[in-house]
A and B are shown apart, each in its own frame.
Chain A
């Protein structure tokens, strides 16, 4: 790191609200190292979040920061990016925020391919409200609202967002914070919608109820269940069943939304000229 991490933090706003062992701080560290590696200007970065534990992250960051309503971060961010396309706009939010209540905004932001980088802090649970199941809770797991075991299947968020039109999607984990940070840097540098699912851990509301008694056990789980794309290609579907694939999972080149908007402005200007 070129600059100390505190350069990007509002240290006077510490201590943070996260529980002991929470993975969100590790993911946030990866985000900041990515920003640092790209040498972004602090005055030109705008971080937007929704509601939840993950969404409290912007409050600790020394940028223009916006903590919005539950699920709507991408919609707020769209207004910011449209009127100031030069800003580096980054959305940080939880899996509940982005995939449940904000799911529609997520796919539409991807479809438009607007240049916003979205980091989903996926702890597989609703942390802020104390452990209800989210769209990312694996089948069979226990949550306060799934006391008999969860019967739904989670999304593959990266596949979903890529299918919707994103320029880049990828997955990382708190345990592999170095590669996660490099993936986030690539996402920020992408000219289009870029989405990173960061697997995080919630020992308090997920681990304890699901036979992982502390953060260490959960990080061990991440280490043992993460496979690279290359390794995954050699595994059978059965072997892959309880694994998650990390790395850059999809890239494509597509016109970016705010750049495309210039064509509307040009067409409108032409019409104005013709009418004069």
Chain B
């Protein structure tokens, strides 16, 4: 095993797999789909070496289901897929949300709808990532912009998932998934690793969904097979874990689950700001598009335009406060996305009419280039 910081050339999907194992992930179930397949292939090779287990299931529904089952035994668990498979997983993502089973779902975005362009990048699943499963539910969505960031951010994905007992969606795009870059692998001892809170009571006293036994929001979680003998269901349930349709109890459950996002907001919001202090125009971008945005901002500065970049690594909860602060200062916010304009609506909502919001869309299966963004910056 690695013992000191090492520098490696890695593919984004490989960094995702390596980072997940560094975070403590020990169970992976998946089904092959471009452009995510290398994650599964890499984990098939490395998980058994660290006492973990890999399985290729019969489909994506089975994969997410097996992941939830494994997580209930205490194993940090993950699945990875792309658009069509992500659609199939939605029902069980809702199960993980209501049953509060930590898990990480990677979606390496490709062009949709349907089979679309399997090998080409897109960012058109950002709304699905938030609202893909039915019903109100808490979920955090993270989105890396580079291979190095993939490694560190997937560790955060597990930490958030364990801390808040929620499914975390890790949205990559085909470019980040497939490109190769330098990654500085941190010393494993230096990584911050969070594990779920275990009950400290006797099994007889265990109320598996009693948040008051924890921090008031997240109930401590026992592992299956350790004598706590508890029930887990996707039906609305009370603190004991058994089904209820009593109105106040249903209300309390849905509200408590939802409140996780508000409580977690600060801790799970990762945003980088580049030259925004004095910026007149700010680019709001995520994923590979944020890399193009960074270059466009540098080029704009070189030609005398006071441009800045707001790079969101957390897409949900949406970083409202950052956008609002910028909207108060900047003349315009430009939102380039590889979709027909999805998060631009969130930028508009968060900027509360205080600035002009400009959408730049690209849906021809090619990434947005710095010069495209630069020309918008020059026009504003």
**Residues of chain A whose beta carbon lies under 8 Å from any beta carbon of chain B:** 10, 13, 42-44, 46, 48, 58-59, 62-69, 72, 75-80, 82-84, 86-87, 104-105, 108, 261, 264-265, 267-269, 271-272
Contact = CB atoms under 8 A, between A and B. Distances in A.
Contact of B227 (A43, A78, A268, A271): A43
A83 B92 contact: no
A210 B49 CA distance: 57
Given A59-B243, A82-B53, A44 B225 contact: yes
Contact of A83 (B27, B63, B95): B27
Contact of A66 (B26, B72, B226): B72
Interface of B: 26-27, 29, 45, 48-49, 51, 53, 55, 57-59, 61-63, 65-75, 77, 91-92, 95, 224-235, 242-243
A8 B63 CA distance: 31
A75 B49 contact: no
B225 A84 contact: yes
A82 B70 contact: yes
A76 B233 contact: no
Contacts of B53: 82-83, 261
Nearest to B47: A268
A169 B91 CA distance: 31
Please name the 5 residue pairs, one residue from A and one from B, whose CB atoms are nearest each other, closest first.
A79-B69, A75-B65, A79-B66, A79-B70, A268-B48
A43 B61 CA distance: 28
Given A63-B229, A69-B95, A75 B61 contact: yes
A79 B67 contact: yes
A43 B224 CA distance: 9
B77 A79 contact: yes
Contacts of B57: 75, 78, 108
Contacts of B51: 265
B30 to A, nearest CB: 12
A104 B234 contact: no
A48 B69 contact: yes
B229 A79 contact: no
Contacts of A66: 69, 72, 224, 231-233
Contact of A69 (B45, B65, B242): B65
A43 B226 CA distance: 7
A202 B1 CA distance: 58
Contacts of A105: 58, 62
Contacts of A87: 73, 224-225
Given A69-B65, A75-B69, A43 B225 contact: yes
Contacts of B55: 78, 82
Contacts of A44: 225
B225 A271 contact: no
29 contacts: A10-B231, A43-B229, A64-B224, A65-B232, A66-B72, A69-B95, A69-B234, A75-B61, A75-B65, A76-B66, A76-B68, A76-B69, A77-B69, A78-B55, A78-B57, A78-B66, A79-B65, A79-B77, A80-B69, A80-B73, A82-B27, A104-B62, A105-B58, A108-B57, A108-B62, A265-B48, A265-B51, A268-B48, A271-B49
Contacts of B95: 68-69
Contacts of B235: 67
Contacts of A65: 229-232
Contact of A104 (B58, B72, B226, B233): B58
Contacts of B224: 46, 64, 66, 80, 84, 87
Contacts of B62: 72, 75, 78, 104-105, 108
Contacts of B59: 104
A269 B226 CA distance: 28
Contacts of B230: 64-65
Nearest to A47: B231
A10 B242 CA distance: 11
A47 B231 CA distance: 10
B354 to A, nearest CB: 44
Contacts of A82: 27, 53, 55, 66, 70
Given A67-B231, A75-B57, A87-B224, 9 more contacts: A43-B227, A65-B229, A65-B232, A68-B65, A108-B58, A265-B51, A268-B45, A268-B49, A272-B49
A243 B226 CA distance: 44
A43 B227 CA distance: 5
Contacts of A46: 224-225
Contacts of A84: 73, 224-225
B49 A269 contact: yes
A10 B229 CA distance: 11
Contacts of B61: 72, 75
Contacts of B65: 68-69, 72, 75-76, 78-79
Contacts of B73: 79-80, 83-84, 87
Nearest to A51: B234
Contact of B92 (A43, A48, A69, A261): A69
Contacts of A13: 242
A108 B73 CA distance: 22
A59 B232 CA distance: 9
Nearest to B51: A265
Contacts of A261: 53
A42 B72 CA distance: 17
B132 to A, nearest CB: 15
Contacts of A63: 229
Given A80-B69, A80-B224, A108-B58, A58 B48 contact: no
A68 B61 CA distance: 12
A21 B75 CA distance: 41
A4 to B, nearest CB: 18
Contacts of A64: 224-225, 228-230
Nearest to B59: A104
A59 B70 contact: no
A79 B27 contact: yes
A46 B228 CA distance: 11
